[in-house]
Chains A and B, each alone.
Chain A
Amino acid sequence: MIFRAVEDADLIRKAQRGDVEGFNLLISRWEKRVFNYLLRILQNREDALDLSQDVFLKAYQNLRKLEDPDRFAAWLFRIAHNEAYSLFRKRKPEGEPDAEQHSGQSVNVGGSGVFPIELSIAVSSALGRLTSDQRETVVLKVYQGFKFEEIAEILSCPISTVKSRLYTALDLLKTDLSPLKARGAV
């Protein structure tokens, strides 16, 4: 008997054949990442959780259209991105979600028990001051670790745009977070 790890591709193929348990196992591997991606760009836990469920429901309904299991991550986050922007449009039909909606508030991402609350608030505030496009690019690159090519696929834009958004955002974050660096937060 040969043992090998069950890979995402195996679970995807099972789910494509209608195996719900296989898909549930796939969800258990990805739900935390999708939830945190949505939480960081929406900055609202309830919305992030609701949308996470919608994302996986849509993923199950459309999984048969996914031809290359290796592209599952980008495909899944593309669904999450669309769901998030659909919510943005519902909340603010005219004009894109922007930094102003977060400028007066700061959502404490990461909880307050493990890390200093001040650091958490500062990071959330700094991310909140970015435009939604910049914030999403930072989340996808820094927190989710996607390659530029994958981010371009998720956001449906050229790689040059991804890099431009990310590097502009990093410059802003460097400035915003410099007081924390000076105080030796890291």
Chain B
Amino acid sequence: MSCSPFDLRDYFFGELPEESRRQVDLHTKGCAACREELNSLRSTQAILLSVPDEEIPQRIGFVSDRVYEPSRLLRWWRAFWGSAPRLGFASAAMLSVAIIVSAIHRPVPVTPVAVDVAKLQADFSRQVGEAVEKAVAESDARHERRTAELLTTATHRFEAKLMADKAAAFQNLAIMDKYALRDYRASMFPEGSR
């Protein structure tokens, strides 16, 4: 069991922070057991690495074939769906638009109103009565105006007729006076006496 302040294997694989590494460095300088443990790890790793990577027997490569290539639109679409930030941004934008549209077109809240039928009927009757009274008054006024107009016209005609009759009467009187005077003269002064 190691007496190192930190796990020597973490130290060996370079997984310790700088400060911890320094502490292990100091410790191993004075601890033979931990140095031995580190040497054991190094030799095991060295044996493992003594079998190096192989060259790949056949190189891998792709050839672009336009027939099978997705269109620019399809590539954009796939990239859009494949990208979480883009999807998130689009979703947020759609949500914002939905909120704005909803706020603009929000229906006016309808508050329920208690309906007093009796009052409504009374109001209705009152309004009908007022309307009938008003209509009757207007009709009476119209008839009065018409009667007054007709009366005025008749008076004017009557006066005109009276004046004409008066004039005719005066004319007739004048003629009668004239004939009366002639008859008088004829009676008073026969034709042979003059």
Question: Which residues on the B side are within 8 Å of A173 (C-beta)?
Answer: 44, 48
| Chain A to chain B contacts (Cβ below 8 Å), 26 pairs | A20-B63, A27-B60, A27-B61, A28-B59, A39-B54, A49-B57, A49-B58, A53-B60, A56-B60, A64-B75, A64-B79, A64-B83, A67-B84, A110-B51, A122-B47, A123-B50, A123-B51, A138-B48, A143-B48, A166-B9, A167-B9, A170-B9, A173-B48, A181-B44, A185-B47, A186-B46
Using A20-B63, A109-B51, A115-B50 as known contacts, say yes or no to A170 and B44 having CB atoms under 8 A apart: yes
Chain B interface main SS type: loop
Task: Determine if B55 is an interface residue (Cβ-Cβ < 8 Å).
Answer: yes
Give the Cβ gap from B63 to chain A, nearest Cβ, in Å. 7
Return chain B residues, CB-CB under 8 Å to A141: 13
Interface residues of A, Cβ cutoff 8 Å to B: 16, 18, 20-21, 23-24, 27-28, 31-33, 35-36, 39, 45, 49, 52-53, 56-57, 60, 62, 64-65, 67, 109-111, 114-115, 119-120, 122-124, 127, 138, 141-143, 147-148, 163, 166-167, 170, 173-174, 177, 180-181, 185-186
User: Is B143 engaged at the interface, CB distance under 8 Å to the other chain?
Assistant: no
Asked whether, in the complex, the Cβ of A24 is within 8 Å of the Cβ of B47, the reply is no
Give the residues from 53 to 77 in chain B that come closer than 8 angstroms, CB to CB, to chain A: 53-64, 69-70, 75
Chain B residues, Cβ within 8 Å of A174: 40, 44
Q: Is the interface of A mostly helix, strand, loop or mixed?
A: helix
| Contact call A36/B53, Cβ cutoff below 8 A | yes
Q: Does B109 contact A (CB under 8 A)?
A: no
Q: Let me know if B102 is at the binding interface, CB within 8 A.
A: no
Residue-wise, chain B 84-119 has the 8 Å CB interface mask toward A (1 for contact) of 110000000000000000000000000000000000
Q: Residue B15 at the A interface, CB < 8 A?
A: yes
Are the CB atoms of B53 and A52 closer together than 8 Å? no
Report yes or no: A64 in contact with B82, Cβ–Cβ below 8 A: yes
Size bracket, chain B contacts: 35 or more
Q: Is B53 touching A65 in the complex (CB atoms < 8 A)?
A: no
Whether the Cβ atoms of A31 and B15 lie closer than 8 Å is no
Which residues of B lie under 8 Å from residue A35 when comparing CB positions?
54, 56
Q: Please, which residue of chain B has its CB at the minimum distance from the CB of A33?
A: B53
